[in-house]
Amino acid sequence: MIILGIDPGTTRIGYAIIEKKDADNLDLLTYGCLEVKSKEQKERLGEISTFISGLIAKYNPEALAIEKIFFTKNAKTVINVAEARGVIINNANSANIKIFDFTPLEIKLAVTGYGRAEKEQVRQMVCRILKIEEKPALDDTSDALAIALTACYTSPKLFINQ
C-alpha cells in the first residue's frame, strides 16, 4: 500500500510517500516540500494541482492522508489553505484514491503517543521511525511525513487484504 501524506498550505506543500508492506515494514519512497512560486491564488492552485497530479502519476498511491484545517486566527489564510486542500483532494478523487484526513492532535498522538507534543518531538519521532538521518529543515516536510505515518498506524481498513 502506497500512501501520499500532505501538509496543505498556500506557499508550501509538504509531501511524503510511504509504502507500507506489512504491519512492521515501512519504506520511505520520497519526501519534501513544494515551494509555490506564484503570487496569485488561482495560479498557486494550478501549480499545486500540477505538482500533486505528477506525484500521483509517478508513485500511484492508493491512499491520500491530509491534515484537516485547524486555524482560528486569520480568515483569509484559512480560506486560501482550504482552496489548496480542495485542489489536492480533487486530484486524489480524480485518481480514485482513498482519502483520510487527520487533525493535528490525531497526528501527534499517532506519531509520538502524546496529542500535545511539540513540533520538534514530532520531527524526532518521524526521523526515528523512518530512519532519516538528517532531520527535515521545514516543518511542512516533517508534518507530511507524520501525516503519512498516521495513516499507516490508524487506518487498518487500508490493509485488510494484507
> Which residue in the list 7, 22, 43, 139 is annotated as catalytic?
7
Contact 46, 38 (CB under 8 A): yes
For residues 141 and 36, give the distance between their C-alpha atoms in angstroms, rounded to a whole number.
14
Helix (H) or strand (E) holding 16: strand 12-22
What is the signed CA dihedral for 130, 101, 9, 93, rounded to 10 degrees? 110
**Cα–Cα distance between 133 and 43 in angstroms, integer?**
35
39: three-class secondary structure by DSSP: coil
Beta sheet of 63-67, edge-to-edge order: 25-35, 12-22, 2-7, 63-67, 98-102
Is 7 among the catalytic positions? yes
Examine the residue annotation and report whether 67 is marked as an active-site residue of this protein: yes
Residue in 27, 35, 67, 143 annotated catalytic = 67
Respond yes or no: is residue 140 known to be catalytic: yes
Q: Catalytic residue positions?
A: 7, 67, 140
